[in-house]
Amino acid sequence: MRTAPPPALGRVVVVGAGMVAHRLVAGLVERAPQDGWHVTVLGDEPWAPYDRVHLSELVTAGRTPDDLALDPTV
Ligand SMILES: Cc1cc2nc3c(=O)[nH]c(=O)nc-3n(C[C@H](O)[C@H](O)[C@H](O)COP(=O)(O)OP(=O)(O)OC[C@H]3O[C@@H](n4cnc5c(N)ncnc54)[C@H](O)[C@@H]3O)c2cc1C
């Protein structure tokens, strides 16, 4: 099976889908929103990246997982 040729800026493979990966991908998209990087993120958690710094607040401050969600459009 053929795949499309890589875009002009090339390919990035990010291993791990945590906060830093999320910020990295957001930065790549901000700098080249169209025809930019072809990004593949390999994560080993069953949920989308979230704000792990505030994880304790699920218990201490009654926050919900949705409160910790990072921008899903990235
Ligand atoms: C309860 C708690 C409270 C915290 N409080 C603070 C705080 O107050 N201030 C602060 O600065 N920091 C705090 N931290 C630390 C902060 O969460 C981390 O510094 C931050 O999450 C690091 O982001 P990261 O994206 O580099 O790594 P991580 O958030 O650890 O994300 C890495 C991701 O990569 C995945 N991964 C790893 N190896 C592989 C692999 N081989 N293949 C695929 N996926 C892989 C992991 O499963 C994970 O999803 C806290 C952490 C916790 C748990």
User: pLDDT tens-digit profile of 28-69?
Assistant: 989 887 778 899 999 999 999 999 999 999 999 999 999 999
Ligand 1 atom showing the smallest separation from residue 22 Cα: 25
Question: For position 7, what pLDDT does the model report?
Answer: 53
pTM of the predicted structure, to 2 decimals: 0.86
For tokens 């994880």, what's the residue? Answer: 55
Which residues, 6+ apart, have CB-to-CB distance to 26 below 8 Å? 71, 74
Q: Are 25 and 36 in contact (CB under 8 A)?
A: no
Q: For a pocket test of ligand 1, which of 53, 68, 70, 74 has the largest count of ligand atoms closer than 8 A to its C-beta?
A: 53
Whether 6 shows a pLDDT value over 70: the answer reads no
HSE of 3, CA atoms in CB hemisphere, 13 A:
3
For tokens 């009654």, what's the residue? Answer: 62
